[in-house]
Amino acid sequence: MENFQKYRVLLTQNQNFRKLFAARLITLGGDWLLTVPLLGIIYELTENPFITSLVLVVQSAPLFMLGSFGGYLADRFDRKKIIAISEFLSGMTVLLILYAVTTENVVFILFSFGLLSVVGSPYMPTSDAALPNVVKKENLAEANVIFFSSWGVMAGLGAGLGGYLTTVISRNMLFAIDSLTFVLSALIVFSIKKNLSEKSQDKDEEEDISYKEGLKYAASKKEIFSLIITKATFSISASGLLSLFTVLSYDIYKTGDFGTGLMFGARGVGALIGPIAIRYFFGSTDGKLLNTIGITIMAWGLFYFFIPFSVSLYLTVFLLILGHSGGGSQWAFSTYGLQVLTPDRLRGRIAGIDYSLYFFMNTISTLMIGYLATVYGVLFVFKLFPVLGFIFGFVWYLSTRKIWKDLDIA
């Protein structure tokens, strides 16, 4: 019950955390309101799984190229201003996407969606780096569960709502609402009174901050290196399958944007409940918590493997909830480990490297799986890549368990 008491304290007594959390909820909800309809729009215009997968490619590729730079900005400048400016620019870019959709020009739509990732690239590494500065160390694990479960909440609500609302209101109206969510998030973050770094950097200190220092630190610490490669390597198996939710919904289940939204929503629900359960049952020490990462990846692979044998949308939704309980846990606790083990002055750069590697593999996975689905069919890739993911989780677990055991002893 102590863990649940910490959740309550964070949400009711820590105003700065609440604001950072609320801004993240709004932003992630806005992301999903946009992504699900865009996948449907591109598939309707092209009827091509590979081109549809490019929606997620143009979303991830700029983050691969600019994620590390965003982390560098988080260590050098005021994190609050970086987040607020990024969010405001994102809101303006959504209006460009709205216009692009009206032209029905696939290249223009993909370009404008990619631009959204460019202006939003500093957001994730900066907010990750800021989180330990608004909560106490003893509450950081619970804060991460709440913070990163926000992705699950809004992937569930935002994706499901996005799929549903396209049947009720126009997509243009949905995009206009989405633009306002980013602006609202920027205003909330800007109202946070606490400094989101341990101390303000003066001019001389700013000049000492270098990008290479983060790379050297990551390479020299085996525990940091192990955590950084987790999201990236897991992403090779997992990320490309997400764009195929649309193909499953349209071609297999015949449920259109509604089914796509429901599947993305199931992904979000799993990412919400998984970290809470893992933290409750295995979170007595940091070492034990981090040791679960490989096991949760294996769980993702196991449940995903059964999806191509599913006879209905709702059974697939159930399997996705179970699978992403594992996938969401590995994300939340690999991030938590990096926050705990990295000093504040390097935290932004380490988070940036983490995101850059993840989105690099995300891009490769989406292109590769989109192509293989076009050649061999969507059900083939849903059989192959969960097996690869399971193998990676097993190897990662065996190769890192001594690191986490030694962490508890130290």
Rounded to an integer, the average pLDDT of 242-265 is 83
Average pLDDT value over all residues in the chain: 83
- Tally of CB atoms within 10 A around 272: 25
Radius of gyration of the chain from its Cα atoms, rounded to whole angstroms: 20
Q: Higher confidence at residue 155 or residue 42?
A: 42
Q: Higher confidence at residue 68 or residue 218?
A: 218
Q: Which of 168, 151, 137, 187 is nearest to 31 (CA)?
A: 151
pLDDT band at 292 (very low <50, low <70, confident <90, very high): very high
Q: Which pLDDT does position 202 carry in this prediction? A: 45
pLDDT band at 20 (very low <50, low <70, confident <90, very high): confident
267 touches 35 (CB < 8 A): no
Q: Which pLDDT does position 298 carry in this prediction? A: 95
371 touches 272 (CB < 8 A): no
pTM greater than the 0.85 cutoff: no
359 touches 256 (CB < 8 A): no
Kindly give, in sequence order, each residue whose CB lies less than 8 Å from that of residue 12, ignoring residues fewer than 6 positions away.
Answer: none
| Residue 391 pLDDT greater than 50, yes or no | yes
Angle at CA of residue 51, ends 49 and 55, nearest 5°: 105
92-106, 149-163, 309-323, range with the lowest pLDDT: 149-163
Q: Which of 401, 383, 366 is nearest to 64 (CA)?
A: 366
297 touches 329 (CB < 8 A): no
pLDDT in tens, 335-379: 889 988 888 888 888 888 888 888 888 888 888 888 898 889 889
Rounded Cα distance between 52 and 56, Å, is 8
13-409 adopts what CATH topology? Growth Hormone; Chain: A; (1.20.1250)
Q: Which pLDDT does position 204 carry in this prediction? A: 45
Q: Higher confidence at residue 334 or residue 138?
A: 334
| Residue 118 pLDDT greater than 70, yes or no | yes
Angle at CA of residue 110, ends 109 and 111, nearest 5°: 90
Q: Higher confidence at residue 137 or residue 227?
A: 227
pLDDT band at 205 (very low <50, low <70, confident <90, very high): very low
Rounded Cα distance between 343 and 341, Å, is 7
DSSP letter at 251 equals: I
Alpha helices in 47-139 (DSSP H): 49-76, 79-103, 106-120, 123-130
247 touches 49 (CB < 8 A): yes
> Domain residue spans in the chain?
13-409
| Residue 121 pLDDT greater than 50, yes or no | yes
Q: Which pLDDT does position 206 carry in this prediction? A: 46
DSSP letter at 248 equals: I
Q: Which pLDDT does position 74 carry in this prediction? A: 82
Given CA atoms 353, 357, 358, 363 in this order, what sign does their dihedral have? Answer: positive
Q: Which pLDDT does position 293 carry in this prediction? A: 93
pLDDT in tens, 90-108: 989 989 988 998 888 999 9
DSSP letter at 156 equals: H
Share of the chain above pLDDT 90, in %: 18
19-23, 197-201, 318-322, 355-359: which has the highest mean pLDDT?
Answer: 318-322
Q: Which pLDDT does position 143 carry in this prediction? A: 83
Angle at CA of residue 235, ends 230 and 238, nearest 5°: 130
Share of the chain above pLDDT 70, in %: 89
Rounded Cα distance between 231 and 120, Å, is 20
- Supply 257's token pair: 């944007």
218 touches 338 (CB < 8 A): no
| Residue 200 pLDDT greater than 50, yes or no | no
